[in-house]
Structure 1
């Protein structure tokens, strides 16, 4: 998997660099932006035009309002090829799909094993207003709406689950009229599940990472504080820490 991610990432960087030579950035970007976010994040956001664009989109999604999942892995067709046994050509086929405008996602199991041609095979469908992709009769249809379309439960994908989004919607501390210290806070934590599904849960100022700036004096006597921000942090494939904060 380490070699796969490295090869996959280098192909994205090289391919997108060649695509961006002419025309505007919108027309040059023929690959799913979330695939670029996935690969550039895993590599620690290396300096390149496609990774700069991917990081800008990653940050734009947490810039209020609304706060979106910074990585929407269900928009990246990782399971574009289905085969019973991995072979050297699989990586190339996935990369070819990323850099093509193919309207369908190939299903290769029946081609590789004629005896299974009549079996029910999974056909990935992108949802949220998109028409179902064409699929042969007899194929089972699976809606992939909020998680990766392949198994990413292994440790090699821990960098996805490391992403945390702290939405500090309201944090106020001040001295009340009766000289008591009043504190009010609303903090939500956005996290990723085993298969890349994103969900929100209640959190608190106390749970904010040390890298967060603006609430250091929270709970210290009673200095006047009013703060709102969105903070996202992560660890790349090698475990290196990174973060961004947007105040508003």
Structure 2
């Protein structure tokens, strides 16, 4: 799936959750463009830049904050909309007076820290495929032992897009983040953040930020 529905939804990026006037929240753009494999367009370039900015220390944030994208803003109560329809409605502001504004819905969803509709189906597996590896690893060869300090953690997404951190071993992160440690290194410290994902059709992507 491309990013055909993303045109015009982003007018800028940065720390603001909302795009400029007349635009949808940038997390809707991130959701669309991630699903489509980050197609080449100004809108998706801005979304990708924000996606990476969020994992650039400090602090390290969830790269996709789906709770800031009102997926259910205009979904009819009597039917479950299609995947494409849900993404479209997430990207475009509602024009109906009877439907709460995206800003109002987004404010409620942000408090819940998860998507405002059921995204547990396999069509949203691309959200749960995101992994964020925050590596902080030090090894130093002492006289009679190998001194190591490892405060690495991994960030994952739950069934409804909720993000959480858990402890992880630097020696188990993918090799694009840190090379395999063999024996006891002579010294040094590795600090990096890697993020990986699969798009809607299963294509794999990753980015790495060292610091």
TM over 0.5: yes
How far 1:144 moved relative to its partner?
5.2
1:227 is aligned, of 174, 190, 208, to: 190
- Are 1:161 and 2:128 an aligned pair? yes
Quote the Cα distance in structure 2 between the aligned partners of 1:211 and 1:77: 34
Q: Does the Cα contact within 8 Å between 1:38 and 1:73 map onto a contact in 2?
A: yes
1:45 is aligned, of 26, 29, 38, to: 38
Quote the Cα distance in structure 2 between the aligned partners of 1:56 and 1:237: 20
How far 1:77 moved relative to its partner?
0.9
The 3-state SS of whatever aligns with 2:4 is helix
Quote the Cα distance in structure 2 between the aligned partners of 1:87 and 1:187: 40
How far 1:216 moved relative to its partner?
1.9
Quote the Cα distance in structure 2 between the aligned partners of 1:202 and 1:87: 37
How far 1:210 moved relative to its partner?
2.6
1:208 match: 173
Quote the Cα distance in structure 1 between the aligned partners of 2:81 and 2:120: 21
How far 1:217 moved relative to its partner?
4.9
1:199 is aligned, of 164, 170, 176, to: 164
Q: Does the Cα contact within 8 Å between 1:218 and 1:225 map onto a contact in 2?
A: no
1:10 match: 4
Task: Give the TM-score taking structure 2 as reference length.
Answer: 0.81
- 1:2-36 superposed Cα distances (whole Å, 9 cap, x missing partner): xxxx48x41222x348x79xxxxx64771210001
Task: Give the TM-score taking structure 1 as reference length.
Answer: 0.70
Quote the Cα distance in structure 1 between the aligned partners of 2:36 and 2:73: 22
What's the RMSD between the two structures over aligned residues? 3.1
Q: Does the Cα contact within 8 Å between 1:228 and 1:247 map onto a contact in 2?
A: yes
What are the ranges of 5 or more consecutive residues in structure 1 without an aligned counterpart? 1-5, 21-25, 108-123, 133-141
Quote the Cα distance in structure 1 between the aligned partners of 2:23 and 2:51: 18
What are the ranges of 5 or more consecutive residues in structure 2 without an aligned counterpart? 13-18
2:26 match: 33
Q: In the TM superposition, what are the counterparts of 1:175-186 in structure 2 within 5 Å?
A: 175-176=141-142, 178-186=143-151
Quote the Cα distance in structure 2 between the aligned partners of 1:247 and 1:105: 48
2:85 match: 91
Quote the Cα distance in structure 2 between the aligned partners of 1:228 and 1:143: 30
2:16 match: none
Tell me the matched-pair count: 200
